[in-house]
Amino acid sequence: MVQIKFCTIPVADQERALKFYTETLGCEVRTNVPYGNGTRWIEVAWPGRETAFVLFTPPGMEGRIGGFTMASLVTDDLERTYREWSSKGVEFVEPPTQQPWGLQAIFKDSEGNSFVITQD
């Protein structure tokens, strides 16, 4: 079996990102250890899910912070997730919108990274 272990999300401020992903989006911390040069290796994931996000920016990759991510999320109820996250201050640049492939929305994280979230 092969699966995705983690996806790296470039961040400018690891503390701010950690707070956003845990307190706002409901992820749990899997790993949070020193990684050198004042940075940490931080892995977060939703409870019960195997794939994690790593909140880290490799040296020289700072230009990727605040861009469109290639990670796409899925939820069983997009309207509920949209209402819940919006009430917590998550910025949606596109509310739930019907597309030919299904219902989707686009939101930004604390670092300005954009994500597509769809309904399963």
pLDDT for the residue numbered 70: 86
Domain coordinates in residue numbering, the chain: 6-119
The domain defined by 6-119 carries CATH number 3.10.180.10: yes
pLDDT for the residue numbered 120: 87
pLDDT in tens, 29-51: 999 999 988 899 999 999 999 99
Query: What is the average pLDDT across 114-120?
Result: 96
pLDDT in tens, 57-100: 999 999 999 999 988 999 999 999 999 999 999 999 999 999 99
Give residues with Cβ within 8 angstroms of 30, minimum separation 6: 43, 44, 45, 52
